[in-house]
Amino acid sequence: MSQEEFEKLIEEEFPRAVPEKFHALLKNVAFLAEWEPSAHVRQEEGLKEGETLLGLYHGVPHTARGDYYGVGGTLPDTITLYQGPIEEEAEHIMQHTQHPNKLENVGILYEEFVRKVVRETIWHEVAHYMGYDEHQVRGREDTRDNGKL
């Protein structure tokens, strides 16, 4: 998948990842696509050999923005999605999913799995933007995945 196709996919999946009632709360945040985390990001995040990120939120969480946030020249927060690790995760999920006619539909399945991982990553990083820490985000994901949200 080209970077342009990946960026378009992010744009298409955003409305499916984030409920519409939260769209108006997303202010001064830019979505970026990169192939993989840089050496600097890997070091900052304490990633070990063989570890990676699907996405990364960087900025001032919505809940921590005071009355004067944005006065003057405030750079946007960023949510970066890492295409390489997302595609690897999609391939991993696809390989471990039982599906009839898998070989016949591999192209369709692959894009759908990439879309699913992109949606999940957007949801996860937007939750950080909203002020949730990693433990809270994972708890909400568990609750959501069990049909309680």
Q: How far apart are CA 8 and CA 2, in angstroms?
A: 10
Please tell me the predicted confidence (pLDDT) of residue 40.
95
Domain count, the chain: 1
Q: Which residues contact 32 (CB under 8 A, 6 or more apart)?
A: 78, 79, 80, 81
Q: Label residues 133-144 b or e (16+ Cβ within 10 Å = b).
A: eeeebeebeeee
pTM, rounded to two decimals: 0.84
Average pLDDT score over residue span 81-99 = 86
- Give the domain CATH number at 76: 3.30.2010.20
| Winning range, highest mean pLDDT, from 47-56, 66-75, 138-147 | 47-56
pLDDT-above-70 percentage for the chain: 87
Enclosing domain of residue 108: 3-145
